[in-house]
Structure 1
């Protein structure tokens, strides 16, 4: 396959997919019956044949069409809304719901079928999202997103305040003891360099979650489940412990 800008985008998308699925160059080499060095050279030189590209895609259950779509989804996307857009979403629950569902690959028919939103109301909501510049409403009530599916909400914005007031407490109203649920609280004492390293690792984990969501977006809704992951880190001392510390030495 000739090396072109589009080829580079495909290879980068494929590398992200392999990383998200935990597939190593050693495993790719075994699947292609090549040495690890040869596989690394294929990726660095972006010199895949279509057959080999399909073989690697198969390792993550991805077709070439789906790979190309993942590239298209990542080009020229709005990744952060302006304050007015966030404010409008936070003030109207149904507007926020429909936008959230569209971000997760729902069609208008899916929304009407699964939620208490009738067709006429859905059209009004879609028209409002169109006026806000978040979607392009097309003939037949088809929708083209004008934003990334994986938005970054403003740290001091309306959606973050909505999260703090409504979502966070409800999320933790669980024992996290059901299938596919987990809660791990870890506490210790780290140096500043280690804290920065942990921050980078959490950021990478968030990227991997988004990549898996991007890949799974091609699956039927019946095979996907709403899931939230909360990642947090702070320099902090539990008040019950810190009240016993001597003045100026509250590190526990």
Structure 2
């Protein structure tokens, strides 16, 4: 078994932890085939889940049982990132193409509108998409959105440099252990994260710029921002203030015991409650 095979085996083990029936859909786009793991009744309103970088769609294993009772859930593997989405000959090369890719996926799923929830890098995509395509977003939930309302901390970036320069299994595990304060996370999912970082071929990451305050004028999407009180990506209180400065009507929630990389798995019950309220 190759190291890439080990990654796919870990991915499948985590997907098997989903306590609901899962339909795996491969959606063709101009940039390749996007894997969508779906669950919940087709009669329910749609909820699209965008994971953090490297986390894959499987990361929602502790959330989908509750969410699927109220939504038809569509969890995406981000194009160009680790997972079972398969890039085509033309990679995504700009933010415009990244957002068009998401529109194509929604079109292919026959979703003129949907609620969207993103974590970390997925939150950056979700916010950028909502600012440009607000009529298609019924509600927006951002889980500890880095780079959306303020800068990431110098401490976090300093610890991330070794992974960015030369990612490997050990460095990824140590980084997550540092950020989470040694919290016990699902071992199979940690395998996905670490093996993906070390061995999965990835495209250049396309990062939406932080929106300027003027871009939030006339933004009418119902928005919730959930922040990790013990996270090391940024200062939660400062980001909460920054959110309120540009989105006065947004709901902000600080989960005092959460860190950036424990979300959305821990604390799952609180995350689920927020998504469902």
Q: Considering the TM-score relative to the shorter chain, is it more than 0.5?
A: no
Task: Name which one, 1 or 2, has greater alpha-carbon Rg.
Answer: 1
Name the TM-score, length of structure 2 as normaliser. 0.20
By percentage of residues, which structure has more strand? 2
By percentage of residues, which structure has more helix? 1
